[in-house]
Amino acid sequence: MLFATDIINKAPVERLVTLWSKRYTPDLSSLSLENSKIMSSELIETASLQGREKTIAKLNRLVEINCKCAGIQTSALFSYIPNIVNLWESQCIAQLVGQIYDTVLEVYKQQSPPPTFLAEISKAATVDFSVYVQGLRTMPGLELSTLKQLVKAIEGIYQQLRQQYVSSKDSRAIGFMSTQFHLSSRLLINRLTVSEKILIGPYFKFVEEQVCIPWQRVCLAAAKHEINSPTLGIVQQLLPASMDIAKSVHRQAVRLNPNHRSLRGELDAPVVRASSIRDVEMFQGYLWLCVLEGNTSSVEQELLPLCKMVFPSINVTWALVEQLLPLLVAEIKLRVKPEQMKLVQPYTEGMEKLFTAA
């Protein structure tokens, strides 16, 4: 789930973590020129210690009930799978998930925004961030010190979740917990103001992704490579493009499947778009794990069973799932040299065979 703190300082890993931290940037795209002057002042106020304390006080009253509601919704989604998680376990999971959010809020309280972020907020008074692509790309992500603090704070609770509800039982329970975190974040975010969403969003995104993206194992695998390893170089090169790749794959999937509709709505609906992009990034995470480990066992034993459980529960067709891999491969080919693609190709082909045969 999480990268171990004792390997972050190894050179190959530190480079990956620095690149990965850029994923957790505040999303200012909701700021248009019309509202940017008002929003920039609100953002600065919300980012202050008093503002963060106000946000935390609001969320502290909401975490327990919203995590329980998310647990009920998750249980309903997976009710077609007998005995995957019983009612008592679902309640315990919701309680532990609530503890994680409470802990993350304490970390958020201690983190004053870096000067570079405040500078970008000030720029919002004169720039339309909904179209200012360069400004969005240069936004600072969560600092390495913040990531380390988050890891240290929540690692024990995550381990407890894994030990009780994954390792000792059914690996498919990862799908249950992934959905639990996704719905919990969604319910909590919906209760916040725009400025609060911008500031707390990266923290919630970090928490949610630790369940479904095997980041700890990617780091462990990277630590076994030399700093100048061509294989490691490919991963380092493509990690910053992870979001762009996922968005492109999603756009093409929408174009190829205009009539597809899951339980959550059409492919281009905002909630479905967000979860779909996260899923494509999860595929990328597993692909890089395969490349760095030199085999596809993690896909066969984890990703494939997870997809076979989760997607039917929300009426996503398997034909669409199979389609994602060729689209992902095409996007990767656009971004690497032919000799680099030769290093990746055995694992993309292995993944495609596994999903086609499922």
Per-residue pLDDT tens for 52-105?
999 999 999 999 999 999 988 888 877 766 666 666 677 888 889 999 999 999
**Residues of the chain falling short of pLDDT 50:** 1-5, 133, 135-136, 168-169
Residues 81 and 252: their CA atoms lie apart, in Å, by 31
Q: Which residue spans of the chain are classified as CATH 1.10.490.20?
A: 227-358
pLDDT for position 349? 96
Q: What is the pLDDT of residues 93-149, one digit of tens each?
A: 888 999 999 999 999 998 877 777 777 666 655 555 555 545 445 555 677 788 888
pLDDT for position 124? 58
Instruction: State pTM to two decimals.
Output: 0.82
CATH of 227-358 among 1.10.490.20, 3.40.50.10800, 1.10.287.950, 1.10.3720.10:
1.10.490.20
pLDDT for position 76? 80
The chain-wide mean pLDDT, for the chain, equals 82
Residues 6+ apart with CB under 8 A from 285: 213, 214, 215, 218
